[in-house]
């Protein structure tokens, strides 16, 4: 997989320097994108992309899209694992409680495009999203699990003369980390532990007597190397998709959105006390979260969000806190389509036009154990749910402006802020979707979650 040639990169920049001429304001009479490509990269932390300040060159092609489009520096996913996060993204609705499925009465993103004359295609790797009972197949004319590149390219080529909505969902950064040996890059040279993580582990050793640090650090470093190699690989895949649009002659009429359903723990925070007590000496590996699913710390909910193409003014960086739930109303407005009633997300087009936006300036997320709210000033409340409180969890409050890694819990020192933000959190989530889970998971969902490593 070859990197983007400079000449092609220059062509993309030149092409979308004309984006304002294509109607960035998206009024009713302005041209709208004919083709919409939504790329969701499962388990992708914003902090591990070069365009978000990462020191490694993990994402040269994503960087090009971001530099030639609009990048949201503070985007939040509505949950820290795939199913509820994608339910929220596909419905434009917040989630009060975890859900595996899209409500049958709620229109989803592909259904809205289909009803408005778009051909719809999906190419999805994550097995939770394959399962027909979860509703993610609804509205698609063509839905393919584990598709090869040729199948995606054939779809793009065959539908080039009609409006299309295409969803591609890859899981390359998901554990187990690391691509095939021929795609390894960072793993071959070997990395080092980030300085902030080194200091944190040293503090743990002094204060808590965490044992076997040397061996734990080797595993953490190897995991980060593999995770970054997976990102580098998926970045190359994204370049192939852009070239497929270009080869079909439709790139200039397309909008591309890069998003992620959630991030990854990579041993930045302790596990919540929801499992068995340790029967062996405490180490980084058995006390901290490698993956995702129950935490709402920034490494698990701060996600990349990039818009590129027709109707998007190039070179924008938007710092206002936004959410994945905003994606549906944004695409509806961008394509001059009606936004369905009940949507709790807000269109991001005013922010991309530099206008004052009438929107709640908070970002919220939810899991079974905790819910969170982040303010524009960087205060972050993590509040346990009833299940979380039953497991011994307490309120957490962080000032991300001075404590970006969420180490100093201010909840007891600032009870007034906890009370104020708790009220805002309840208000923000009160219209959210409720759980669809009965006493037992279906066998198909059990198998899908086993395949993804959520449980054995």
pLDDT one-digit tens code per residue, 313-330: 999 999 999 999 999 999
In this prediction, residue 127 carries a pLDDT of 87
Ramachandran region of residue 66, left (φ > 0), alpha (ψ -120 to 50) or beta?
A: alpha
Q: Walk across the sheet containing 254-259 and list its strands.
A: 142-145, 119-124, 164-170, 35-41, 254-259, 306-309, 70-72, 316-318
Q: What are phi and psi of 59, to 5 degrees?
A: -140, 55
What average pLDDT score do residues 150-174 get? 96
Calpha distance 168→146 (Å, rounded): 10
Whether residue 420 is predicted with pLDDT greater than 80 in this model: the reply is: yes
Average pLDDT, the chain: 89
In this prediction, residue 441 carries a pLDDT of 62
What average pLDDT score do residues 443-455 get? 59
Calpha distance 345→448 (Å, rounded): 28
Residue 41 bridge partners (DSSP): 170
Flag whether 321 is in a domain.
yes
In this prediction, residue 24 carries a pLDDT of 38
Tell me the percentage of the chain whose pLDDT exceeds 90.
Answer: 76
Flag whether 293 is in a domain.
yes
Can you give the CATH number for the domain in which 335 is found? 3.40.720.10
Higher per-residue confidence, 131 vs 50 = 50
pLDDT band at residue 2 under the 50/70/90 scheme: very low
Whether residue 11 is predicted with pLDDT greater than 60 in this model: the reply is: no
**pLDDT tens digits for range 254-311:** 999 999 999 999 999 999 876 667 778 899 999 999 999 999 999 999 999 999 999 9
Whether residue 25 is predicted with pLDDT greater than 60 in this model: the reply is: no
Flag whether 389 is in a domain.
no
Flag whether 428 is in a domain.
no
Q: Give the sign of the dihedral formed by CA 36, CA 105, CA 123, CA 185.
A: positive
What average pLDDT score do residues 432-446 get? 71
Whether residue 5 is predicted with pLDDT greater than 60 in this model: the reply is: no
Calpha distance 347→349 (Å, rounded): 6
Q: How many angstroms separate the first and last alpha carbons of the chain?
A: 35
What average pLDDT score do residues 90-107 get? 93
In this prediction, residue 7 carries a pLDDT of 44
Flag whether 391 is in a domain.
no
Whether residue 64 is predicted with pLDDT greater than 90 in this model: the reply is: yes
**pLDDT tens digits for range 203-254:** 998 888 887 789 999 999 999 999 999 999 999 999 999 999 999 999 999 9
Whether residue 312 is predicted with pLDDT greater than 90 in this model: the reply is: yes
Flag whether 134 is in a domain.
yes
Calpha distance 41→424 (Å, rounded): 30
Select from 78, 76, 60 the least CA-distant residue to 68.
60
DSSP character string of 104-146: TTS--HHHHHHHTT-EEEEEE--HHHH-GGGSTTTT-SEEEET
Calpha distance 378→22 (Å, rounded): 35
In this prediction, residue 447 carries a pLDDT of 60
What average pLDDT score do residues 106-110 get? 97
Whether residue 21 is predicted with pLDDT greater than 60 in this model: the reply is: no
What average pLDDT score do residues 49-61 get? 97
CA dist 272 to 60, 203, 374, 415, 444, Å?
35, 19, 20, 22, 27
Select from 411, 381, 407 the least CA-distant residue to 196.
407
Which structural domain range is residue 148 located in? 6-360
Flag whether 408 is in a domain.
no
Calpha distance 190→226 (Å, rounded): 10
In this prediction, residue 435 carries a pLDDT of 84
- DSSP-derived pairing of the beta strands 322-323 and 306-309: unpaired
What average pLDDT score do residues 349-361 get? 87
**Rounded to 5°, angle at Cα 240 from 71 and 146:** 100
Query: How many domains does one find in the chain?
Result: 1
Whether residue 168 is predicted with pLDDT greater than 90 in this model: the reply is: yes
- The pTM of the full predicted model, rounded to 2 decimals, is 0.91
In this prediction, residue 452 carries a pLDDT of 59
H or E element, residue 254: strand 254-259
Tell me the percentage of the chain whose pLDDT exceeds 70.
Answer: 89
Q: Walk across the sheet containing 75-76 and list its strands.
A: 302-303, 75-76, 322-323
Flag whether 441 is in a domain.
no
Higher per-residue confidence, 431 vs 284 = 284
Please check whether residue 80 is in contact with residue 295, taking contact to mean a CB–CB distance below 8 angstroms: yes
DSSP 277: P
Map residue 302 onto helix, strand or coil: strand
Q: Walk across the sheet containing 370-374 and list its strands.
A: 363-366, 370-374, 379-384, 396-399
Interhelix angle 327-334/82-91, rounded to 10 degrees, is 30
């Amino acid at each position: 997989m070859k990197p983007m040639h400079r000449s092609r990169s220059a062509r993309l920049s030149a092409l979308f320097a004309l984006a304002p001429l294509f109607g960035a304001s998206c009024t009713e009479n302005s041209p709208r994108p004919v083709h919409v490509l939504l790329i969701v990269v499962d388990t992708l932390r914003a902090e591990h992309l070069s365009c978000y300040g990462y020191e490694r060159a993990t994402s040269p092609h994503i960087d090009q899209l971001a530099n030639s489009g609009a990048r949201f520096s503070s985007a939040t996913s509505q949950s820290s694992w795939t199913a509820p996060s994608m339910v929220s993204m596909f419905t434009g609705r917040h989630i009060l409680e975890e859900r595996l499925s899209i409500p049958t009465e709620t229109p989803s993103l592909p259904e809205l495009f289909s009803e408005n004359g778009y051909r719809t295609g999906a190419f999805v790797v994550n097995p939770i999203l394959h399962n027909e009972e979860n509703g993610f197949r609804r509205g698609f004319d063509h839905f393919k699990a584990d598709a090869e590149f040729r199948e995606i390219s054939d779809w793009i080529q065959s539908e080039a003369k009609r409006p299309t909505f295409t969803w591609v969902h890859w899981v390359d950064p998901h554990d187990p980390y690391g691509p095939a040996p021929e795609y390894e890059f960072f793993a071959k040279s070997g990395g080092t532990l980030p300085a902030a993580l080194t200091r944190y582990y040293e503090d743990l050793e002094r204060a808590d007597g965490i044992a076997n640090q040397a061996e734990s650090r080797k595993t953490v470093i190897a995991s980060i190397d593999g995770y970054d190699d997976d990102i580098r690989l998926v970045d190359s895949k994204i370049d192939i998709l852009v070239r497929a649009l270009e080869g079909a002659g439709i790139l200039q009429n397309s909008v591309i959105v890069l998003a992620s359903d959630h991030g990854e723990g990579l041993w930045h925070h302790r596990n919540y006390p929801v499992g068995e007590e340790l029967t062996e000496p405490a180490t980084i590996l058995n006390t901290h979260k490698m993956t995702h699913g129950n935490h709402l710390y920034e490494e698990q909910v701060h996600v990349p969000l990039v818009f590129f193409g027709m109707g998007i003014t190039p070179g924008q960086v938007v710092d206002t806190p936004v959410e994945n739930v905003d994606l549906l109303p944004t695409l509806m407005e961008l394509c001059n389509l009606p936004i369905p009633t009940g949507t709790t997300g807000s269109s991001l087009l005013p922010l991309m036009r530099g206008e004052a936006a009438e929107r709640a300036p908070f970002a919220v997320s939810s899991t079974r154990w905790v819910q969170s709210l982040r303010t524009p000033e960087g205060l972050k409340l993590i509040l346990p749910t009833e299940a979380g409180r039953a497991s011994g969890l307490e309120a957490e409050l962080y000032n991300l402006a001075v404590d970006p890694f969420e180490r100093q819990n201010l909840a007891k020192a600032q009870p007034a802020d906890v009370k104020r933000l708790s009220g805002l959190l309840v208000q923000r989530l009160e219209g959210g979707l409720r759980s669809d889970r009965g006493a037992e998971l279906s066998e198909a969902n059990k198998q899908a979650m086993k395949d993804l490593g959520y449980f054995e």
